[in-house]
Structure 1
Amino acid sequence: MEPAMAAAATRDPEVRASEQDTFGFPHLPYQCQMQFMACVYETLDLGGIGILESPTGTGKTLSLLCPSLAWLRRRELSILAEELTPADQESDLWAQHIRTQAQLSAERVWERRREWREQRKSRARRSVALTSSGTQQQSKRRHVQPPVAESQENLSLEALYLEPPVTRTQQHSEEAFQQKLQIIFCSRTHSQLAQVLREIKTSQEVPENLAVVTLGARQSLCVHALKSRAKGGQHLNDLCRLATERRAGLVCDLKKSAEAMADVFLSQMMDIEAMAERGRAPVGGGCPYYGSRRALQEADVVLVPYASLVSAETRRKLGLRTEGNVLIFDEAHNLLEAIGESNSVTVTLQQAKCSVEDLEAYGQHYEARLSPKNALQLRQLRQLSLQLHRYMGALEKPCALTVGAFLVALGADHFDLPSLADFLLHTELPRKVRHFAERFALKPGTSSSVYAISDLLKALQFSSTEDRIICEPGTEASLRYLSLDAEARFREILVAARAVLFAGGTLEARELPVDVTRPLRSFSGPHVVPSSHILVRYVTHAGTQPLDFRKDQRSCDQTLAQLRLILTKAASATHGGAVFFFPSYEYLSVIAQTLDGSRLAGRRLFMEQNRRGGQSGGVKNDAATTLQSFASAVREDGSAVLFAVSGASLSEGIDFKDDLCRLVAVIGLPYPNASDLAMLEKMRFLDACAKREQGSLTGRDYYTGKCMKAVNQCVGRSIRHAKDWSAILLLDHRYGQPQIQQKIAGWLRTEATAGTFETAMCELKRFMDSSCPSSQ
């Protein structure tokens, strides 16, 4: 919650909360925030699912955290006692005795946890204590030896990996913190989680000795010099394993300090950057990645990106436990996409070709030394890769196949896929082939080939009848494994949780992995800004001509001329930043080519860059630099114009507050590519489900929903706190259709009217020139 919003809450008596439980909210909350927090607390206390809608800029994250932390502080001990109480009792007297004993046991466990936490804090303080001479302790020197070629014994399939034994210290804490109640808070990115951590520190009802641990991948937390040599996350995983085991001439002793790092992470609240910085410290440093994993079991609150929770393999590796815990998904409108992406695997024609070559070379070198079983499995894997390469090379048109049809078309329906997948896992073949290829310099860039085959095999091993293989032909041919019902698999995880909260600006139960058998509570709140601070218009016409930004119409000369005029007039009438969101990079580029120079209406013009290659017509820099340059221009000149793309980097998770965005306009409707095979298969699957289950999401609902989520996210960039203000223009004749308007966020619908651009311009000028926005 921004300071300006908090101050507004204390100044405006009409929107002050009544004298109720504010759950440690650091400021006097609005009534809608009180209702939001009450729904959160009730859901946690009674269990079940909560779906909470609140517009961007209404302090949603803080409204989630405060009742959750208050509930944890007030109820954790009693819940622990409940868990230790047997379900069935024979008599009231005996039941009372059992409850008393359970309460005493809970208090003993509670005290052990408190003592253990105090010991950790004490050790964390001593790790950076001063010596008697007043100088810092000298940490053990950690030498990093240069990498050398791995021995042939280590590259052989007969050399297996053994898990390290569990230490006594680990056993001690595991006993005390077994099945500990945790709040697992998920958001999309680490930058958003860092903001969550800052919000936690502002709550006035934080439990004593609250332990908050942020989880991240090695790519984010590794502080070893080998990280600079890693070619992607999987390569870093391999190097880490080798170095911590002192194999292949690599040495990393940082893992030995994981327990010391866990002491620090459970004693101090650190975001991902602070954790990595602490790991690099000459005194008290160590491995942040293994330190965070070691601290996980004892944490009260776990902050984790979606990708780590929705992936079954990542959950297993990190030790994330959902059973009996509280799961909170902030920005939950992204959740289904994250689940689908985590269950998707892609293999390219080039990867299949390289896999054949690498396995052939590896087999020639080692096959004579292998056991008969391993040699057979290696030949089968090589043959499977060869058939994949031939199949993709012969593709003539795109197609979508069931897993069974794909295996038949591939000629691999007789392969024992589970056995091959198990072979890859237990022999660590992908890692060994990678190092073999690098050692003998077979071909640059081929060393990750077998990983792609391994991922595909794992996906196929657990496939269902609802899964599809999307085949794309061409010189860059590819196969994409797509799990159409990935939400059902994830729903099984949520069933075991004590409570699940989905929060966002616009949410619908049909678009979330909700278990319908559990109690469901919902809340939808208004915006905290006065209606006089918002101007929302559906701009459907320019003069008598409808504004038509459908893909087959938007590049015609008349439409381009209309849009240039709209952009120029709207920008010239805006005091402060004007942000225009285009439906695609391609269309932004078309418009950029029709403009003269780097200015629009006398204002400096900035354009979002397409990271996937090419320039969209603007300055050659990334999104962060573009935003920084745009913000500087607004501060220096009092106004500037930004062209961005719906669904791209600048459309979500960015605060265009105050003068950075006094006008936001969305051009057209950013529908997904209608010819995309994956989208079509998903829509067909949902239509089939809708026929079986009345009221469930249809394919058309899903398709339209993805578009309107992008629109609502773009619009939400503008109003960031209670005293903010902005004009919002939605440009297209389709915004006049009731079925489209129903998908617009509720706080916008109540203020929106439809009309021509000429009418909207008159209202825009009055809004910009009015004394209310400029004076407040």
Structure 2
Amino acid sequence: MPLVDVKGVHVNFPFDPYDCQVAYMEKVIECLQKNVNGILESPTGTGKTLSLLCSSLAWLQDKKAQVELNRQANISSLMGDNGSLQNNQIEALKKSLESTTGMTWGGSEFAVPKIIYASRTHSQLTQAVQELKRSAYNTVKVSVIGSREQLCIHEQVRKEMSNATKVHMCRAKVAARTCFYFNHFEEIKRNSEPRQLVGDVVDIEDMVRFGEKQRVCPYYIAKELKSDADIIFMPYNYLLDAKSRKAHGVEVQGNIIIFDEAHNLEKICEDSSSFDLSPADLATAIEELNRLGEKLFEMAKNEETSLVEMTDSSAMPEPEFTLEDVLRLKSTFKQLEEEIDKIEVPNKEKGLTKPGIFIFELLSKVNIAFETKNFLLDLLDKIISYVTSDSTGMGFHSKGAGLTKMADILRVVFSREVPDGGSVYQLQQMLAKAYKVHVQPLQPNKKKKIDSWATPAVTDKTGKTLSYWCFSPGHSMLDLTAHGVKCVILTSGTLSPLESFSSEMQIPFPVTLENPHVIDKHQVWVGTLNKGPDGVGLNSNYQTRFNENYQASLGKALVNFARVVPNGLLVFFPSYPVMEKCIENWQQNGVYNSITQYKPLLVEPRGKQAFSDVMEEFYEKINDPALNGAIFVAVCRGKVSEGLDFADNNGRAVIITGLPFPPRMDPKVMLKMQFLDESRGKQGFKTLSGQEWYRQQASRAVNQAVGRVIRHRKDYGAILLCDERFAGESAIRQLPVWVRPQVKKYDVFGRALRDMIVFFKTAEQTLPVPDKKPNRAGGSASASGCQGAHFLPTVHRQGPTPSLTKARSVPEHVPSLCQSSAEEETNLAKLKIQYEGGPSTVSGNSNKKNLLDALKTSEIGESQNYELNDKSAFKQPNPMMKKMPSKKKIVIKKRDSESTSSSALVRNSSGSVMEVSSSVTNSHLQSAENYILEVKRCLDKESYVTFSKALGMYKKTGQLSQAVGVMAGLFTENPQDYHLFRKFYRFVRHKDKKEFDSVCKELTGEGCGYKPEDAVPKKRTQSHVSSLSDQPEKKQRTDATGCILQPVTTIGSNVQSEKSSKFASNDLSCLTLNSGSGDDITQSVKCEKSGTDPQGSPVEKISERLKDVTGPLDIRSPNSDNSGYTCCKCQCDARVPFQSACDHVCCFKCWKEVFNDLDKTCPACGIRIRRRNLKRLLFPGRADELPS
């Protein structure tokens, strides 16, 4: 890997960095060297995360070296070793390291800082860890702090829906030492080093896998790894929330904090310090305390009557609080509910707004203050732990949700402690500066008045919601930096405008960067459009957004752009209502149909699961060669605009239909703007006005949507801003720095359309064609997962790092250019086919030969699409199969008929077998796995174990009778399960298929579609036909009475002709062989009996082989009417005889009647019978052999 000198720090980068990457790393290292904060913007696709990790870790390595040198120098001076040469060398090295690590870190010459890397979601953290695994710094020690939701593997805790419930339940189990995984963790911690067991670079998935394998708690392992980690990954909220930092033991003093994807930081800072208390929340808390009080009273009553000794003490943990504590807390909450109801709200629609100090005044009325908050929080934690760990079924269905909400509220209000000697009032005033209190009455459900004479009671029982809103993200940032953080770096792809962002944070940012993109100018086209094709102005403001003329003009514009934009087109609306109204209007006036003539249109849904389905459909349509791409209609600030990758053909153009301003009349938005206007000029730094903030929110959302289209160095696309307000200079200044110079303003629609056509034609001719990528849905969401991630476990790392070769490739660090791991494996397999000569090396499952390989089976000769129903042998051809290669039908004809040489045919046939042989095993094994899953869903656990044992025994002994006895007992009681019994036919050995088909017909009334050729393994038949192809073609021609094989194309490979289904005495008709590829290769062989081939024709040889196994090829031969056994219950011939352990025989129907009885005893001897002990009798018996 190349070493890049960045401000004296040697950065080991995977490849020669772009100029923008060097500039970015310079700014990162400048922040670290000077110990100052920085805001760094670099567009998506420029390798921002990789540059950030490599530069910061390179600096950290030099810092470690400097600290170690200081230690050695200090030891040397204490030892009195003052050699001049050595001192000169040490001084020179110290100066060199000081120049690379910076001079501002004085006072901590023996302390190595940690890097705390925070991002918004766990999936984004996983992407960052995997980038680190592929870099040269994959030997640093890593810790990932996650929640119990991601890391807990305890079955009882995992099934809880609420994260708060999981937290308290986990704490209760740990305190009571009833969690096996935590106890094992403590044992490992005493006897070994967790880091050595887990590895250096690990993420959440690594720790969960390790925990499940070793049965040890991943959550506490992650916390333990934090102590010696060089870099710690965690979500934003764990870092910004003081109570979360304390709970997870996150130490920020003297450390470096990096916020990646920081464009959401402002909102997260405010939300983490705010709350809404609804009447339902307070009522839930009071009800939980009420039920708890009743339970404690009942326990006390039972104790007095000595009944407590009869209870299960393990199910009733001893509470750490008294009934009196519960009643006092309940009284406090009821008083709070009454005080909130007393608040007079003159305007019920707008609500009432109070200054932030009002919250302390309100709570003090019910004796909740700084002096009592520690007692209340401690009591609440004890009660919540007790309620969540309760297993006595006392009705705690809410699992302490209301009490948890109240505890969180108290922690937000009393977020800081009163300093020693400080004033409570001053602390309250300081905290209240960033807040507003809002009281909003709940609107009652207005129902239609039925009785006009009825007078409604004048009551106000609907309740009021109490909101405590933080309007200063700097409140959290100031609290964070007050703990001695060395420097804070904020970075994202969309932070513009930087000035407003830094002013909102209220801390200085001396280092800033607005990076250009890695693409060239000709790779992007940006235009603002003022009018539609019909000359109507495009302006999505409040007055015109629902105007039908505007909506129709926008729709007509979209019709034209859908015609000229190749592949994927993204259209973003300001909000869901505007999007829905436009689509409704287009459907009514016919514009919708005009759009879909060029591209199918998909709409972003609100639900999470529905969104994943729509994304999958979008990617499928993009990759469908029969379509011209697709249109995805979405909203700004929605799921599509954040984090999804629309690289290359997935997104060739993005259209923004308007400025997505926040809802102006929303109380929180109005108060935010009011707060900023009131604060402007009062602070010691420049702040935004309310109007500037309002406009900046829209610009950030636009920039985030614009970032969807250009995703890597070789990508290209168009950006169209369809609102006349975008043409203003102030709006252009709000766009990303790499977009601004490219903006062109269009007053005439035709010119914009013409220039877009020219752009795409030029791009398609000059830029490389992207590789086709597999479908990817975002939500997985993983919705936003890194498609290029390669898991490289660091446990027991030996030898050279396996990722160095891949890491030198630029696409490996650009998610849009990376192939998925599944695609890489497929490509590798294809290369092996091409260069190692043969498909037999491809199949990863080629060594799996039986159902137990899927339990574990597959026999190559079985048809992959076999369906066991009454029409399976005469399945109609699928019209979609016309595109598939046609199969061959071998027909024996006279010499004078048209024909082709058999050698050519056999070469074709054998070649096709070779081509599909590798895929047969995989597809058939998958079919077997599907069968096993279907059986699992049908059977209970005990029955499935019986089923598995029967399969294992059949594989071992080959005795079909025992297996059929078990299968019949499991699958023939309920007619709905008959299909499972019939489907087992495909896994029966060839020699047993005829027998099984007969049994199936008797038990279920329907056979399995048995054909005589099913009794011959496919490999034997294929090898026989292949051997015939070795006969010289010349000899075949001289055979006067022989037959020539002629290929005839047939589409419906599963369809047999009417003629071929009949057997005559003078000719042998149709022989059907199941192909391994999943389609039947039907070879109809017809031979005129006009002579005899002395060597025997191919048909005769095959028929002789079939006769050896199956007997005469005559499907009309009836089965024997007499089984040879007499049923000891009905005294009739046992058509389907089963023998019990007591050796008595009954027919299957009689045995079913026996098992339907309660006693389940043998009709002959009265011994109790078990279904699993019945054995199917498949061979005729004699009367003298029957038990007496």
Task: Return the TM-score normalized by structure 2.
Answer: 0.52
Is it true that 1:602 corresponds to 2:598 in the alignment?
A: yes
Distance 2:68 2:645 in 1: 41
Distance 1:635 1:392 in 2: 60
Distance 2:719 2:505 in 1: 36
Distance 1:638 1:565 in 2: 18
Alignment check: 8 A CA contact 2:336 2:366 kept: no
Over residues 6-29 of structure 1, what are the superposed CA-to-partner deviations in whole Å (9 max), with x where a residue is unaligned?
Answer: 9xx9xxxxxx99999771121111
Alpha-carbon offset, residue 295 of structure 1: 0.7
Alignment check: 8 A CA contact 1:49 1:519 kept: yes
SS at match of 1:709: helix
Alpha-carbon offset, residue 449 of structure 1: 1.1
Alignment map for 1:112-261 (pairs within 5 Å)? 180-204=112-136, 206=137, 209-246=139-176, 253=183, 255-256=185-186, 259=189
In the superposition, relative to structure 1, how do residues 218 and 684 fare at CA in structure 2: closer, same or farther (>3 Å)?
A: same
Over residues 479-507 of structure 1, what are the superposed CA-to-partner deviations in whole Å (9 max), with x where a residue is unaligned?
Answer: 22212234234224235222221112343
Alignment map for 1:265-284 (pairs within 5 Å)? 267-281=199-213, 284=214
Alpha-carbon offset, residue 774 of structure 1: 5.6
Alignment check: 8 A CA contact 2:143 2:232 kept: yes
Q: Which runs of 5+ in 2 are unaligned?
A: 75-79, 95-109, 301-320, 416-427, 445-461, 770-1188
Distance 2:353 2:29 in 1: 45
Q: Which residue of 2 aligns with 1:332?
A: 262
Q: Which residue of 1 aligns with 2:658?
A: 668
Is it true that 1:37 corresponds to 2:25 in the alignment?
A: yes
Alignment check: 8 A CA contact 2:43 2:494 kept: yes
Alignment map for 1:621-640 (pairs within 5 Å)? 621-636=609-624, 637-640=627-630
- Partner amino acid for 2:559? T
Over residues 285-308 of structure 1, what are the superposed CA-to-partner deviations in whole Å (9 max), with x where a residue is unaligned?
Answer: 411111101111211111111121
Distance 2:344 2:504 in 1: 41
Out of 344, 353, 357, the residue aligned to residue 400 of structure 1 is 353
- Partner amino acid for 2:43? P
Alignment check: 8 A CA contact 1:579 1:641 kept: yes
Over residues 463-490 of structure 1, what are the superposed CA-to-partner deviations in whole Å (9 max), with x where a residue is unaligned?
Answer: 6222222323225853222122342342
Is it true that 1:700 corresponds to 2:683 in the alignment?
A: no
Alpha-carbon offset, residue 737 of structure 1: 1.7
Alpha-carbon offset, residue 759 of structure 1: 2.1
SS at match of 1:545: coil
Moved more, 379-388 or 430-439: 430-439
Alignment check: 8 A CA contact 1:327 1:499 kept: yes
Distance 1:255 1:381 in 2: 41
Q: Which residue of 2 aligns with 1:482?
A: 469
Is it true that 1:558 corresponds to 2:549 in the alignment?
A: yes
SS at match of 2:37: strand
Out of 446, 449, 461, the residue aligned to residue 402 of structure 2 is 449
Distance 1:295 1:234 in 2: 24
Q: Which runs of 5+ in 1 are unaligned?
A: 1-5, 10-15, 87-92, 108-177, 613-620
Alignment map for 1:756-775 (pairs within 5 Å)? 756=747, 757-770=749-762, 771-772=764-765, 775=768
- Partner amino acid for 1:665? I
Alignment map for 1:285-304 (pairs within 5 Å)? 285-304=215-234
Distance 2:129 2:345 in 1: 52
In the superposition, relative to structure 1, how do residues 473 and 299 fare at CA in structure 2: closer, same or farther (>3 Å)?
A: same
Distance 2:34 2:551 in 1: 56
Alignment check: 8 A CA contact 1:51 1:503 kept: yes
In the superposition, relative to structure 1, how do residues 469 and 414 fare at CA in structure 2: closer, same or farther (>3 Å)?
A: same
In the superposition, relative to structure 1, how do residues 85 and 355 fare at CA in structure 2: closer, same or farther (>3 Å)?
A: farther
Give the length in aligned residue pairs.
Answer: 671
Out of 52, 69, 73, the residue aligned to residue 64 of structure 1 is 52
In the superposition, relative to structure 1, how do residues 441 and 480 fare at CA in structure 2: closer, same or farther (>3 Å)?
A: farther
Alignment check: 8 A CA contact 2:42 2:494 kept: yes
Is it true that 1:470 corresponds to 2:438 in the alignment?
A: yes
Distance 2:345 2:271 in 1: 27
Out of 646, 650, 653, the residue aligned to residue 656 of structure 1 is 646
Alpha-carbon offset, residue 184 of structure 1: 1.0
Flag the structure with larger Rg: 2
Distance 1:438 1:568 in 2: 61
Question: Larger relative contact order (C-alpha < 8 A, sep ≥ 6)?
Answer: 1
Alpha-carbon offset, residue 516 of structure 1: 7.6
Distance 2:697 2:607 in 1: 21
Alignment check: 8 A CA contact 1:403 1:460 kept: no
Distance 1:515 1:610 in 2: 31
SS at match of 2:600: strand
Over the aligned positions, Cα root-mean-square deviation in angstroms equals 3.7
Alignment check: 8 A CA contact 1:491 1:514 kept: no
Distance 2:6 2:228 in 1: 37
Moved more, 762-771 or 480-489: 480-489
- Partner amino acid for 1:298? D
SS at match of 1:431: helix
Alignment check: 8 A CA contact 1:26 1:203 kept: yes
Alignment check: 8 A CA contact 1:43 1:49 kept: yes
In the superposition, relative to structure 1, how do residues 723 and 261 fare at CA in structure 2: closer, same or farther (>3 Å)?
A: farther
- Partner amino acid for 2:51? S
Moved more, 226-235 or 331-340: 226-235
Alignment map for 1:44-59 (pairs within 5 Å)? 44-59=32-47
In the superposition, relative to structure 1, how do residues 735 and 518 fare at CA in structure 2: closer, same or farther (>3 Å)?
A: closer
Alpha-carbon offset, residue 658 of structure 1: 0.6
Alpha-carbon offset, residue 196 of structure 1: 1.1
Over residues 633-660 of structure 1, what are the superposed CA-to-partner deviations in whole Å (9 max), with x where a residue is unaligned?
Answer: 1011351111111101111111111110
Moved more, 709-718 or 375-384: 375-384
SS at match of 1:327: strand
Distance 1:215 1:740 in 2: 40
Q: Which residue of 2 aligns with 1:617?
A: none
In the superposition, relative to structure 1, how do residues 244 and 656 fare at CA in structure 2: closer, same or farther (>3 Å)?
A: same
Moved more, 674-683 or 300-309: 674-683
Over residues 25-54 of structure 1, what are the superposed CA-to-partner deviations in whole Å (9 max), with x where a residue is unaligned?
Answer: 211111222121112112212211122121
- Partner amino acid for 2:596? L
Over residues 248-274 of structure 1, what are the superposed CA-to-partner deviations in whole Å (9 max), with x where a residue is unaligned?
Answer: 999964543674794268624232223
- Partner amino acid for 1:641? I
Alignment map for 1:686-697 (pairs within 5 Å)? 686-692=676-682, 693=684, 695-697=686-688
Distance 2:730 2:82 in 1: 57
Over residues 177-214 of structure 1, what are the superposed CA-to-partner deviations in whole Å (9 max), with x where a residue is unaligned?
Answer: x965211111111221122112212333x27x411111
- Partner amino acid for 1:287? C
Moved more, 363-372 or 377-386: 363-372
SS at match of 1:760: helix
In the superposition, relative to structure 1, how do residues 588 and 275 fare at CA in structure 2: closer, same or farther (>3 Å)?
A: farther
Q: Which residue of 2 aligns with 1:386?
A: 337
Distance 1:665 1:258 in 2: 56
Alpha-carbon offset, residue 518 of structure 1: 6.1
Task: Return the TM-score normalized by structure 1.
Answer: 0.78
Distance 2:614 2:82 in 1: 66
In the superposition, relative to structure 1, how do residues 182 and 545 fare at CA in structure 2: closer, same or farther (>3 Å)?
A: same
Q: Which residue of 1 aligns with 2:306?
A: none
In the superposition, relative to structure 1, how do residues 313 and 699 fare at CA in structure 2: closer, same or farther (>3 Å)?
A: same
In the superposition, relative to structure 1, how do residues 509 and 366 fare at CA in structure 2: closer, same or farther (>3 Å)?
A: farther
In the superposition, relative to structure 1, how do residues 411 and 275 fare at CA in structure 2: closer, same or farther (>3 Å)?
A: closer
Q: Which residue of 2 aligns with 1:491?
A: 478
Out of 424, 445, 450, the residue aligned to residue 376 of structure 2 is 424
SS at match of 1:73: helix
Moved more, 417-426 or 563-572: 417-426
Alignment check: 8 A CA contact 1:490 1:513 kept: no
Identity %: 25
Distance 2:511 2:63 in 1: 20
